[in-house]
Amino acid sequence: MNRQQLSQKIIETCLEMTRLGLNQGTAGNVSVRYQEGMLITPTGMPYDKMREDDIVYVDQHGQFEAGKLPSSEWQFHLAVYQARQDVDAVVHNHAMHCAAVSILNRPIPAIHYMIAVGGADQIPCVPYATFGTAKLAEFVKQGIRQSKAILLAHHGLIAAEKNLDKALWLAHEVEVLASWYLKLLATGLPIPTLSAQEMVAVLEKFKSYGLRIEEKSET
C-alpha cells in the first residue's frame, strides 16, 4: 500500500474500533510502520473528522512533519516497532474490560487457550507511567517483547500485529478475554488456569492460527 492507502486504512480501523465498542471519543490511537518510521493518527481529532492528510508521519528518531501533531502516545508506538520487527501495525484503545483489568494492575492469566493470541501464556500488564512519556514508552518496549498484546496499568490495551486488520482482531480478542476474567474475579472463587505444559502445546499450535489476512507492503 502507498501512503494514501495506508492513511485511509488507519482511519477505517479507528472507525471500526469505535463501532466494535473498543474505544470512546478521541481516546486511543492507531499506527502503521511506514518507510523508516510510521504513520499515526493525529492528536485530539475525532475519528469521524479525520482525513487522509491528517495522518502524521513520524520518523525513526521521533521527528514529525511540520504543521502536524501526532498522537500524544507516539513514543510508545515507535517503541513497539523498535522492539519487534515482526509487527507493522499498532492499535491502542481504552476498551472497557481491558481498562478495568489494567486498573487492577494485573495480567490476564491462562484462563482460556485463547490467551495465546498474544504469543505468550498470559496477557502482561506493564507498570503505570504518565501517558505520552518516554518512561511509559520504555515500559511498553519491555512488555511488547513478551507478548503482542499488553495491558498498560491504569490505562488500556496495546495490540500489535502484521497489519491493521490483524491488530484490531487481536485487540477485540483480548477485550473478550478481559471480560471473562472480570466475571470470574467477581465470583470470588479460585480461578483455574491452564498448566504451563498445556500452554506450551497451545502456543505451538497458534503458530498457524489466527486471522488470515495479508496486506501488500507500502510503496
Establish whether 119 is an annotated binding residue.
no
Name residues whose C-beta falls within 8 Å of residue 66's C-beta, 6 or more positions apart in sequence. none
Establish whether 72 is an annotated binding residue.
yes
Q: Are 155 and 94 in contact (CB under 8 A)?
A: yes
Cell numbers describing residue 3 = 501512503
Q: How far is C-alpha 135 from the geometric centre of its chain's CA atoms?
A: 18
Establish whether 21 is an annotated binding residue.
no
Establish whether 217 is an annotated binding residue.
no
Q: CA quadruple 28, 134, 178, 116: dihedral positive or negative?
A: positive
Establish whether 18 is an annotated binding residue.
no
Q: Are 69 and 56 in contact (CB under 8 A)?
A: yes
Establish whether 73 is an annotated binding residue.
yes
Q: What are phi and psi of 84, to 5 degrees?
A: -135, 115
73 is catalytic: yes
**Listed residue (37, 44, 50) closest to 7, CA to CA:** 50
Establish whether 94 is an annotated binding residue.
yes
Catalytic residue among 73, 161, 173, 175: 73
Establish whether 13 is an annotated binding residue.
no
Binding residues for substrate: 28-29, 43-44, 71-72
Binding residues: 28-29, 43-44, 71-73, 92, 94, 155
Binding residues for Zn(2+): 73, 92, 94, 155
Give the residue numbers marked as catalytic: 73
